Amino acid sequence: MARTHYEQQQQPLERTLELIAERCSLAQALKSIFHDLCTTGLLSTSLNQNLTLCFCLPAKAHQLHKKGSMVDPETIDRCLRALKPYHGMLLLVDFAELLDCVPPTGARMLWQLVDAYNPLISLQSMASNADLSIEHVYKLVSHLVYWAKATIIYPLCETNVYVIAPDAPLHTKSHLVEKFSTRFAGMSLFEVISDFSLPTSIGHLTTPLQQPARQGILAQMVLWMLQHHLLMQLHTYVQFMPSEDEFGDSASCGHQLRGASDDEGDQDADQDELHDGSMLSMSSQPLPVPVASINHRRDVSEDHSSLASDNIAVQPSSSHKSNFSMTASLSTENCDSIDSMEDEQKLKELLQVFNDADRAAIRRIPASLNVDDLALLVKLYQMGYFKSEHHLEEIMYFENLRRSQLLQLLDKFRDVLIIYETEDPAIASMYNNK
């Protein structure tokens, strides 16, 4: 390069630089580095076939998937610090483009993760399938997210609730419209995404009668819209908020008034059913009506008739009574009495967690008389899950609960628990960054 500069001292500077770029491999590498950083923000090159350079400008790289976005390193770090084992990963590029972001020494571990990659399973499951520790998976996923090769999601399932992202680039001249039609022949992006104008779960868009192929196509379309930042997932959060005494008294008066006539009772039953599924159905499959509520709504005369028939069926005749049967009956009554006393003591101990006002509000709920239900409520309350900081999926994961268990508990104690839907802060930080 020095010799070329010496030979071309009498030539214009532009010509000298052109000759240097033609003859010097280092100059060619520097020119390529400058071009890559200006166009894509991604750099992966080798100098002298020996030294590998990898570099990323996230503010530039993330605009490849969402134009106009400004994702700075601090935003990405905030997202990655909130990673949990129940989160999932969604690749934004083809497998062939993944090796550009890692040096040769990290390629083997990356391919282990790629072989186990599945947007339907959690990071913990991927770590197990790839025979990697969860810490290594965190590092690899974080690296892919930083390089705009992947994004964080909750594993795709039919209970996931999605809504159109607030900054979704949806307009008639959007390049995504034609891109979607090319990927899914005969389908319209606006028609498909209109189903998510209001928060909607995947399960509500499918039926058991649909063919598996149709359900698979819907899943692929949801993944495509997530890849292009068109959808945002909403999670259900819980806030413990007992009502005041005056509201509780007015509510009880309302129940007494509703029982005044059969017509009013039927209307209230419909309202109760609507209330039961108003919020919970948006974050899960429709739940079967609890047996307790069915029994509560049965006709009183039906209860008496069934009770009378049961007594007739099991009551022995007077000629067969004996001292033994009377003693057994007394013994059973004593056991039931002891059990009830123990349950009452357990209930009192559990309620000591709450203050007087909250304790009174909980006691008005019929489910508070069930030791198991109250114990689960107290456990989750003490763990801090009812402070609007943990969504249902997180509670399910860390407490090893089924969704049906958790939703039934929220339904039973809905008088003191408020539920609402919003995005996961760990993922939402990647949105609205214009």
State pLDDT tens for residues 371-388: 999 999 999 999 999 999
Look at residue 3 in the predicted model and tell me its pLDDT. 55
Degrees to nearest 5, angle at CA 242 with 241 and 248: 145
User: What's the average model confidence in pLDDT over 233-260?
Assistant: 61
What pLDDT does 147 receive?
A: 87
Q: What is the mean pLDDT of residues 111-115?
A: 91
In angstroms, the Cα distances linking 314 to 308, 309, 345, 421 are: 10, 9, 32, 51
CB 157 within 8 A of CB 201: no
Does the structure show a pLDDT above 50 at 139?
A: yes
pLDDT digits (tens, 9 = 90+) for 180-204: 999 999 899 999 999 999 999 998 8
- Reference 93, options 132, 150, 29; nearest CA is 150
Report whether pLDDT(69) > 70. no
- pLDDT at position 337 is 58
Every domain of the chain and the residues it spans? 2-39, 61-153, 161-229, 232-292+338-434
pLDDT of residue 370: 93
Q: Is residue 306 over pLDDT 60? A: no
Give whichever of 95-109, 229-243, 295-309, 311-325 has the largest mean pLDDT. 229-243
- Return mean pLDDT, the chain: 75
250-258 contacts at long range (C-beta below 8 A, 24 or more positions apart): 251/415, 252/364
- Short-list 119, 126, 54, CA closest to 92: 119
- Report the C-alpha gap between 248 and 332 in whole angstroms: 37
Percentage of residues in the chain having pLDDT higher than 90: 39
Q: 86: closest CA among 356, 368, 323, 395?
A: 395
pLDDT at 294: 37
> pLDDT digit string (tens) for 165-174?
888 888 878 8
